[in-house]
Amino acid sequence: MSPDIFLALLVFAFASSITPGPNNLMLLASGVNFGFTRTIPHMLGISAGFASLLLGIGLGLGALLAAWPALHMALRIAGSAYLLYLAWRIAMSRSLSASGGATARPMRLVEAAAFQWVNPKAWVMAVTAMAVYTNPQLPFLSVALVTATFTLVNLPSVSVWAGFGTALGGFLADPARLRWFNIGMGVALAASLWPMLG
For the chain, the domains span: 3-12+36-196
Report the alpha-carbon distance of residue 27 to residue 34 in Å, rounded.
10
Structural contact between residues 162 and 43, judged by C-beta atoms closer than 8 angstroms:
yes
Q: Look at 139 and 12; give whichever has higher pLDDT.
A: 12
- The pLDDT of residue 51 is 95
- Least trusted range by pLDDT, from 19-23, 114-118, 136-140, 178-182: 178-182
Does 108 have pLDDT greater than 90? Answer: yes
Question: Global pTM?
Answer: 0.79
Count Cβ atoms within 10 A of the Cβ of residue 137 and give its class: 0-12 exposed, 13-18 middle, 19 or more buried. Answer: exposed
Q: How high is the mean pLDDT of the chain?
A: 82
pLDDT, tens digit, 9 for 90 and up, residues 67-94: 777 776 776 677 677 778 777 877 777 6
Which whole number is the average pLDDT over 11-26? 88
How much is the pLDDT for 65? 65
* Nearest Cα residue to 58 out of 154, 125, 157, 153: 125
Residue 63 has pLDDT above 70, yes or no: no
What secondary structure does DSSP assign to 108-125, as a single string?
PHHHHHHHGGG-HHHHHH
Read off the pLDDT of residues 144-163 as tens digits, 9 standing for 90 and up: 999 999 999 999 999 999 99
